[in-house]
Amino acid sequence: MRKTSTAKTQVPVAMQLTPDLVAKTFKLVEDDGPEPNWTPISPQQLDELVSRVEQEACDEEIWVFAYGSLMWNSGFEVAASADAVAYGWHRAFSLRIERLRATSDAPGLMLALRPGGSCSGLVLKLSCETKQQDLRTLLAREIRYSEVCDMVRWISVKTPTGTLRALTFWASTKRSRITEKIPLDDAAVLIAQACGPAGSCAEYLHRTVLDLADRNIFDRNLWQLQQMVATRLRTL
């Protein structure tokens, strides 16, 4: 998927990927367990990852840069939030999946940060009172396999009050097998077909683009992608 920039601007009038089209992608799917050929992260490894992030935070506040589902479903109590832009990064559907919102027979894609461009989103602050537990919950959600522990990192983001250091989740180049650059045409095919026990990839795309639109954020690639997915679904 090519690099893109995002900005606070007036979004186009209406999405083509409507709830009715998204509903076409839903089906009952059994949970087949973890992703094939990947090792679920153990409680001990998760504890070590939490400790590593806490040490890197140096007892300071922990902010998380949200650019996809964390914007509309953080999974933890947000102590504070602010608009933020990550320069040198862009969101892209480049994380290949065969579980959650997909299956091995109909694989799909989810978002990850990739180098290049810029990305408008939010920073979310973890509560000081529940910081360790919330951090563990967050990392358990985003880092499910021991092989991908390097897909969490710190980046600098610009906010209305200045620059913050924020934790985020990216498409590590060490994981090129699951984080390849994917042309929009190919991404549209995968997103339109994929559904798993957690829902469909089209639903994930719809909710993300809708949330961005509500925040007056226009991502050119995602806007084009929802149009392409809508076109495919209308033919079903």
Query: CA nearest 221: which of 236, 208, 232?
Result: 208
**Exposure on the CB side of residue 139, measured as CA atoms within 13 A:** 30
Which one from 54, 56, 129, 142 is the annotated catalytic residue? Answer: 142
Give me the amino acid identity at 4.
Answer: T
Long-range contacts of 56-62 (CB under 8 A, 24+ apart): 56/154, 61/125, 61/126, 61/128, 62/125, 62/126, 62/131, 62/135, 62/167
Among this protein's residues, is 98 annotated catalytic?
A: no
> Tokens 């480049």 map to which residue?
94
Alpha carbon dihedral 96, 31, 136, 122, in 10-degree steps, equals 50
Q: Which residues are catalytic?
A: 142
